[in-house]
């Protein structure tokens, strides 16, 4: 009874702010402006398949870059002293203390044709680069904003690894590459999967970064939904249908990642 009483506020909160909005999305997705049932909204989502593919591609690319950059950082932090770990983790989290919009505006200032980077290149006699309003700028913005969500879960798992397991692998004759591939990587997979999920989901559905750094030529799913609710092409029913399809795609991706996580975690740490 006590456990139920403690969880009651959370259940109420979840019902009001999670379940009810999701039910409203489903309702609007399957109705027209008059409230009649229709499948036209779902059918119209297919015409935006190129936007879905672009969003998935840029989200996956940003996730891979975050993994390649964040995994070594998490490993370095996890293998330092406890005092240094606290300082390094604070440095990782420091940008998150700043407003998300301000961070994106800062990248606009850096990447503009007359921005700081091109001004520096001109000053040293090098040709300038067109960086703003490109897919590269969108990926760069997402990596910068979301890489802490990759570093922190990987660090959390790696910091709890038993050093004796790695020492045992080395005693059995495994070199550094084999220790990493057969022991360290499998044991850290729960953190990797968590980090991949935490980066991929907001990357696919982002709209501020793509709007400010990508311009109108790099439309993503988040921008498309934003246009249906707040833009000139006001159509909340179509926007809800797009949101529902995006939700289903994300749930499928998360289900696949969870299955992969289960298989890896059971076999982690075995030296074959």
pLDDT digits (tens, 9 = 90+) for 114-124: 999 999 999 99
Closest-CA residue to 192 (of 97, 63, 29):
63
* CA neighbor of 205 nearest in space, from 132, 148, 254, 256: 254
What is the pLDDT, as a whole number, of residue 4? 75
Q: What pLDDT band is residue 262 in, cutting at 50, 70 and 90?
A: low
Each residue's pLDDT tens digit, 6-65 = 888 888 888 888 899 999 999 999 999 899 999 999 999 999 999 999 999 999 999 999
Q: Which residue has the higher pLDDT, 27 or 232?
A: 27
Backbone angles phi, psi at 211, to 5 degrees: -70, -40
With contact defined as beta carbons under 8 Å apart, do 199 and 166 qualify? no
pLDDT(261) > 80: no
> How far, CA to CA in Å, does 269 sit from each of 15, 76, 160, 161, 179?
40, 20, 13, 10, 9
Helix (H, G, I), strand (E, B) or coil at 37: strand
CA triple 216-223-149, angle to 5 deg? 115
pLDDT of residue 107: 93
Give the model's pLDDT for residue 270: 35
Which pLDDT belongs to residue 216?
A: 75
CA dist 112 → 94, 102, 126, 128, 150 (Å): 25, 15, 16, 10, 28
Q: Which residues contact 68 (CB under 8 A, 6 or more apart)?
A: none
**Segment holding 122, helix H or strand E:** helix 116-123
CA distances (Å), origin 8, targets 2, 16, 19, 23, 214: 10, 12, 15, 21, 43
Query: Would you state the pLDDT for residue 6?
Result: 80
Residue 211 has pLDDT above 80, yes or no: yes
Q: What tokens appear for 2 in the block?
A: 């006590």
252-267 mean pLDDT? 66
Give me the chain's average pLDDT, please. 89
Q: pTM for this one?
A: 0.88
Q: So what's the pLDDT on residue 65?
A: 98
Question: What is residue 1's predicted lDDT score, i.e. its pLDDT?
Answer: 63
Q: Kindly give, in sequence order, each residue whose CB lies less than 8 Å from that of residue 174, ignoring residues fewer than 6 positions away.
A: 182, 183, 271
Question: For residue 71, what pLDDT is reported?
Answer: 97
Percent of the chain predicted with pLDDT > 90: 69
Provide the pLDDT for residue 266: 42
Q: Are 169 and 178 in contact (CB under 8 A)?
A: yes
DSSP 96: G
> pLDDT category, 186, cuts 50, 70, 90?
very high
Q: Is 196 a residue whose pLDDT tops 80?
A: yes
pLDDT tens track for 133-151: 999 999 999 999 999 999 9
Please give the share of the chain, as a percent, with pLDDT higher than 70. Answer: 94
Give the model's pLDDT for residue 269: 40
Per-residue pLDDT at 191: 94
Using one digit for the tens of pLDDT, what is the confidence trace for 68-114?
A: 999 999 999 999 998 899 999 999 999 888 888 899 999 999 999 99
């Amino acid at each position: 009874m006590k456990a139920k009483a403690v969880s009651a506020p959370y259940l109420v909160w979840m019902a009001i702010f999670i379940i009810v909005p999701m039910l409203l999305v489903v309702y609007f997705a399957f109705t027209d402006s008059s409230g009649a049932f229709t499948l036209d909204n779902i059918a119209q989502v297919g015409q935006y398949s190129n936007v879905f593919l672009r969003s998935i591609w840029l989200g996956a690319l940003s996730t891979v870059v975050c993994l390649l950059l964040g995994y070594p950082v998490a490993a370095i932090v996890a293998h330092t002293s406890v005092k240094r770990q606290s300082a390094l983790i604070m440095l990782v989290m420091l940008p998150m203390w700043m407003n998300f919009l301000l961070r994106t505006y800062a990248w606009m200032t850096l990447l503009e044709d007359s921005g700081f980077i091109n001004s520096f290149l001109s000053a040293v006699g090098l040709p300038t680069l067109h960086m703003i309003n490109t897919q590269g700028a969108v990926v760069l913005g997402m990596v910068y904003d979301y890489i802490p969500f990759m570093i922190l879960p990987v660090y959390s798992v790696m910091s709890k690894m038993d050093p004796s397991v790695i020492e045992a692998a080395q005693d059995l004759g495994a070199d550094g590459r084999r220790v990493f591939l057969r022991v360290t990587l499998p044991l850290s997979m729960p953190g990797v999967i968590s980090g991949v999920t935490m980066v991929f989901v907001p990357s696919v559905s982002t709209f501020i970064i793509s709007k400010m750094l990508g311009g109108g030529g790099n439309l993503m799913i988040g921008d498309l939904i934003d246009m249906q609710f707040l833009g000139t092409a006001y159509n909340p029913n179509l926007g809800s249908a797009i949101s529902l399809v995006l939700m289903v795609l994300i749930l499928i991706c998360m289900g696949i990642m969870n299955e992969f996580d289960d298989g890896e975690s059971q076999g982690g740490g075995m030296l074959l």
